[in-house]
Amino acid sequence: MVMKTVLGGILVLLLITARAQALSLANPGCEETCGNVTIPFPFGIGASCSANESFIVTCNNSFGPTVPYIRSINLQVLEISLEGTIRVNSPVITSNCSDRRHSTLEMDFSSTPFSFSDTKNQFTATGCNNLALINGQDIETGGCTSYCNSSWRPSTCYGINCCQTRIPSSLKYINVSLRSISPNYGGESCKRAFMVEQDWFTNLTNPFDVQSMENVPVVLDWTANTTCKNFIRRYDYINQYKTVCSCGGGEEGNPYLHGGCQDVDECANPSTNHCVHPNVCVNLQSGYGCFSPDKGSNKARMAIIGMLLSFL
């Protein structure tokens, strides 16, 4: 019994040690956050902390709170996911609006690893008599038209005062222009257009809330397929493979760093294991085990001893 308690004590200590050693997601010796955004490698603050020039993050506090920008595309980043996406702040452009200067939207990600996510974003335009076109480098890529009805103000976006369209996959360049569909459709009213993260947009109670915003969130895909330090996982988005690195089962961390993946201790949190008292949860390299403390307790002891040995 005393032995059991001592072992239990050591076990708790080991678990605490393991948790305290949570690895940084940044390159060793580099800052892991900018403002309230986590910056995991291959992204990094400054050239020596990032995989290459495309992933350099600049921390800028010229406009008040410190916010990160991705230098290669000159956009503020809101969130970086190691699943191969980032959320950025993207401008809302306007034409003939009294409250805002006429603006244009040209975004060029060619020669960077970034592209607009076709599954997460939609191109959106609001206003009346609005022919909003996305021009690619040589061709017209898409667009939508929004017709007028000044007495129509429901919170929908199906072509009256607001329109949306999907975008092609792997889109890296857009130049958006706003025109009138026809002078007969009620002329010179205020028009807006923006690329937008669809989940965020549908969460708005009213699509016209965007009228007071200068920026909206957009999701970009990124890939860094040559730098996997662990497993490579491929996603097939309609035969266009996207490669992301990932940690193994029962592991977490940053698969883009040497030794960046570490074992998850499923036993530390009741929600991550299904062991029921009096069974003892034992963390294993690729998962965990539930062992009976009494009959057949040799297994539990073996596992605990094995774990102790692995720390020596």
Distance in angstroms (rounded) separating the CA atoms of residues 114 and 307 = 43
83 near ligand NAG (CB under 6 A): no
233 near ligand NAG (CB under 6 A): no
Distance in angstroms (rounded) separating the CA atoms of residues 133 and 144 = 7
- Provide the angle, in degrees to the nearest 10, between the axes of the packed helices 2-20 and 298-310: 40
Q: Smaller CB distance to ligand NAG: residue 191 or 280?
A: 191
Q: Smaller CB distance to ligand NAG: residue 180 or 283?
A: 180
Considering only residues 47 to 66 of the shown chain, the ones binding ligand NAG according to CB under 6 A are 51-54, 58, 60, 62, 65
Distance in angstroms (rounded) separating the CA atoms of residues 269 and 273 = 7
Show the binding pattern over residues 163-192: x = contacts ligand NAG (CB under 6 A), - = does not: ------------x-xxxx-------x--x-
Q: How far is the CB of 86 from ligand NAG (least distance, A)?
A: 13
Tell me which residue of 92, 300, 281, 308 sits closest to 201, measured CA to CA. 92
Considering only residues 15 to 34 of the shown chain, the ones binding ligand NAG according to CB under 6 A are none
225 near ligand NAG (CB under 6 A): yes
239 near ligand NAG (CB under 6 A): no
Q: How many Cβ atoms from other residues are within 10 Å of residue 74's Cβ?
A: 11
Element housing 2 (H / E):
helix 2-20
Task: Measure the CA dihedral 259/260/263/264, to 10°.
Answer: 170
Task: Look up residue 193 and give its two tokens.
Answer: 């257009």
Q: How far is the CB of 246 from ligand NAG (least distance, A)?
A: 14
145 near ligand NAG (CB under 6 A): no
At residue 296, what are phi and psi to the nearest 5 degrees? 70, 25
Distance in angstroms (rounded) separating the CA atoms of residues 207 and 230 = 42
Only one of the segments 12-20, 197-205, 208-216, 264-272 lies at the binding site for ligand NAG (rule: CB under 6 A); that segment is 197-205
Considering only residues 249 to 308 of the shown chain, the ones binding ligand NAG according to CB under 6 A are none
Using an 8 Å Cβ cutoff, are 164 and 144 in contact?
Answer: yes
DSSP one-letter code for 250: T
Q: Smaller CB distance to ligand NAG: residue 254 or 273?
A: 254
- Figure out which of the listed residues 30, 31, 186, 200 binds ligand NAG, where binding follows CB under 6 A: 200
Distance in angstroms (rounded) separating the CA atoms of residues 253 and 246 = 9
243 near ligand NAG (CB under 6 A): yes
Q: How far is the CB of 51 from ligand NAG (least distance, A)?
A: 6
Residues that bind ligand NAG (CB under 6 A): 35-36, 51-54, 58, 60, 62, 65, 95-96, 106, 113, 135, 149, 151-152, 175, 177-180, 188, 191, 197, 199-200, 203, 224-226, 243
